[in-house]
Structures are given as structure tokens and as C-alpha cells.
């Protein structure tokens, strides 16, 4: 499932693939996007906001929400679940692949894009610049909800999904079911200090021409706790990883070292 690291990897890929090229033609291959018009034009780069990728083309911006299984890859041959293709100058073609069909493509003018992003009221980015411990305390310290689902609230901090939230709690030694208001200043210091290194590690490990999502049978080798139910804890070397449910989502933790 694409979270901040995966979207950042795709942003870098799209930036590299589109550098110096033009979009020649947009080819929808799914009825969902049959009426979508993406005007051709010079490719002017990308940026990421949370889990959303913005691709600037000519006088418009293409906003891509990857949802559960969306991804952009280079087109080499016909492949299953291709929803749209972007034909670039010099003969390159990029494909938008999405098994679950939940992903969104939106074409906007600069003004429309600005209004859209402002309307989302997303919180600040936790990467690449670290947010100091004081910020985490001020933003989360008074919340009565459990810390793991709190980390997934985009209005608090943007880009952290279910996998990263489990990994952050594990790296910080914080039980994911603890209320935010019970965390000490030492807890927030550890938590704040592990966010950027965790995201860096996932980006470094997963970087490549195509993301392999955990829910599609790929990836996961860089995770310390997620998906490791009934296996030994890599943090303390003593506990056994457990899987629980929080807000309808799977959470993984070590009951020995996460208190």
C-alpha cells in the first residue's frame, strides 16, 4: 500500500523519466477514465504532498492518488491492470497500473490545484526535515486516542499510513494502544527521532523502477515488525511479535519492548 516513501520513490522515477520530454498523448484504458482529458505539453517536473503526487505538464497539473495498489511504471509490454498510458516524446511510454481500481487521476489548473490542497487541511510533512520533539508533544500530547491511529491522521501529520505507524511505534518502544496523552517527553523524543531514519531506510531499500507492495505479495523485507506476526522481535531479541486490530487495521507489536 503506497505511503509517503513509496510515493516519493514514484515521484523520483516520474521526474527522471519525464526530464526534457513532452507528454504527447494520454491513452485511457479503463472506462473509469474514458472521459478524462490530459492536455499534451512539456513536462515541468513533480512534487509530492503526503501520499499524493503532482505531475506538472504544460499549463496543467495531474494529481495522482495511488490509494491501495496504484503505481506508475515504464511501459515495456502489455500487462494486466493497466488503467492508462502516457505516451512521451522520444518513444517512452509510462503506464498507470492499478489492480484494485481505487486510484484517482485529476487534471487541474494551478489555481484549482492550490484550492484543492488548501482544502485538504493536511498537516506538515514528517520528512525529509525532522519535526522536533516539541512539535509532536504540542500536536499529539493532549489527544485521548491511541498513538498508532493518531499517527495516521493526515490533519495532524501527512503521509504516515498503517505500515509506517506500526514501524514508528515499534522503533520508539511505544505500545500502539497507549493513549497519546500518556506518553512521556522521553517517549516523544524517541518517537520523533525515528521517523526520518525509518522513511529514509524504506526509500533506500524499495527504490527501483517498480514498487512491490506488501498487499500484492512483495516488499516487506525492510520492516522490523509489520507482517512479522509470531516471529521473534528484531528490536529486543526476546519478545514475539503479535498482531492486533486497531480501527479495523492490522497492527504489529512486540509486547516485551513496547510499553
With bands split at pLDDT 50, 70 and 90, how would you rate the model's confidence at 222?
Answer: confident
Position 60 scores a pLDDT of 97
* pLDDT of 24 above 60: yes
Q: Is 247 left (phi over 0), alpha (psi -120 to 50) or beta?
A: left
With bands split at pLDDT 50, 70 and 90, how would you rate the model's confidence at 219?
Answer: low
CA 164 → CA 1, 180, 182, distances in Å?
A: 11, 17, 21
The secondary element (H helix, E strand) that includes residue 139 is helix 133-140
CATH number for region 4-120 = 3.20.190.10
pTM here is 0.95
Measured CA to CA, the distance from residue 103 to residue 100 in angstroms comes to 8
Q: In this structure, how many other beta carbons lie within 10 angstroms of the beta carbon of residue 75?
A: 19
Measured CA to CA, the distance from residue 169 to residue 255 in angstroms comes to 12
Position 102 scores a pLDDT of 95
Residues pairing with 61 in the sheet? 56, 108
* pLDDT of 77 above 80: yes
CA 238 → CA 7, 233, 235, 254, distances in Å?
A: 34, 6, 8, 9
* pLDDT of 220 above 70: no
Measured CA to CA, the distance from residue 70 to residue 86 in angstroms comes to 15
Average pLDDT over the chain, rounded to whole?
95
Position 217 scores a pLDDT of 54
What is the mean pLDDT of the segment spanning 48-65?
Answer: 97
Residue pLDDT, tens place only, 116-148: 999 999 999 999 999 999 999 999 999 999 999
CA atoms within 13 A on the CB side of 186: 2
Position 212 scores a pLDDT of 84
With bands split at pLDDT 50, 70 and 90, how would you rate the model's confidence at 25?
Answer: very high
With bands split at pLDDT 50, 70 and 90, how would you rate the model's confidence at 113?
Answer: very high
Instruction: Return all residues near 111 (Cβ < 8 A) that are at least 6 apart.
Output: none
Q: Which CATH number fits domain 133-253: 3.40.50.300, 2.30.29.30, 3.30.413.10, 1.10.8.50?
A: 1.10.8.50
Parse the chain into domains and list their residue ranges: 4-120, 133-253
Measured CA to CA, the distance from residue 143 to residue 149 in angstroms comes to 11
Position 213 scores a pLDDT of 83
Position 214 scores a pLDDT of 72
Lowest mean pLDDT across 23-37, 168-182, 217-231, 241-255:
217-231
Residue pLDDT, tens place only, 78-106: 889 999 999 999 999 999 999 999 999 99
Amino acid at each position: 500500500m503506497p505511503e509517503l516513501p513509496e510515493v516519493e520513490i514514484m515521484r523520483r522515477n516520474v521526474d527522471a523519466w519525464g526530464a526534457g520530454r513532452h507528454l504527447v498523448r494520454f491513452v485511457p484504458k479503463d472506462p473509469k477514465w474514458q472521459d478524462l482529458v490530459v492536455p499534451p505539453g512539456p513536462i515541468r517536473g513533480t512534487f509530492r504532498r503526503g501520499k499524493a503526487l503532482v505531475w506538472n505538464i504544460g499549463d496543467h497539473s495531474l494529481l495522482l492518488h495511488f490509494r491501495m495498489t496504484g503505481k506508475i511504471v515504464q511501459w515495456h509490454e502489455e500487462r494486466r491492470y493497466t488503467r492508462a498510458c502516457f505516451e512521451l516524446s522520444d518513444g517512452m511510454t509510462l503506464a498507470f497500473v492499478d489492480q484494485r481500481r481505487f486510484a484517482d487521476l485529476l487534471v487541474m489548473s494551478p489555481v484549482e490545484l492550490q484550492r484543492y490542497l488548501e482544502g485538504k487541511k493536511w498537516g506538515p510533512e514528517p520528512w525529509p526535515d525532522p519535526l522536533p520533539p516539541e512539535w509532536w508533544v504540542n500536536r499529539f500530547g493532549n489527544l485521548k486516542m491511541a498513538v498508532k491511529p493518531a499517527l495516521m491522521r493526515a490533519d495532524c501529520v501527512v503521509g504516515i499510513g498503517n505500515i509506517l505507524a506500526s514501524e514508528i511505534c515499534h522503533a520508539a518502544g511505544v505500545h500502539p494502544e497507549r493513549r497519546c496523552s500518556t506518553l512521556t517527553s522521553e517517549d516523544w523524543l524517541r518517537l520523533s527521532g525515528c521517523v526520518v531514519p525509518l522513511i529514509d531506510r524504506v526509500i533506500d531499500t524499495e527504490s527501483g523502477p517498480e514498487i512491490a507492495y506488501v498487499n500484492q505479495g512483495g516488499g516487506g523485507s525492510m520492516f522490523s515488525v509489520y507482517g512479522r506476526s509470531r516471529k521473534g522481535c528484531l528490536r529486543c531479541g526476546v519478545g514475539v511479535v503479535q498482531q492486533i486490530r486497531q480501527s479495523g487495521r492490522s497492527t504489529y507489536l512486540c509486547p516485551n519492548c513496547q510499553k
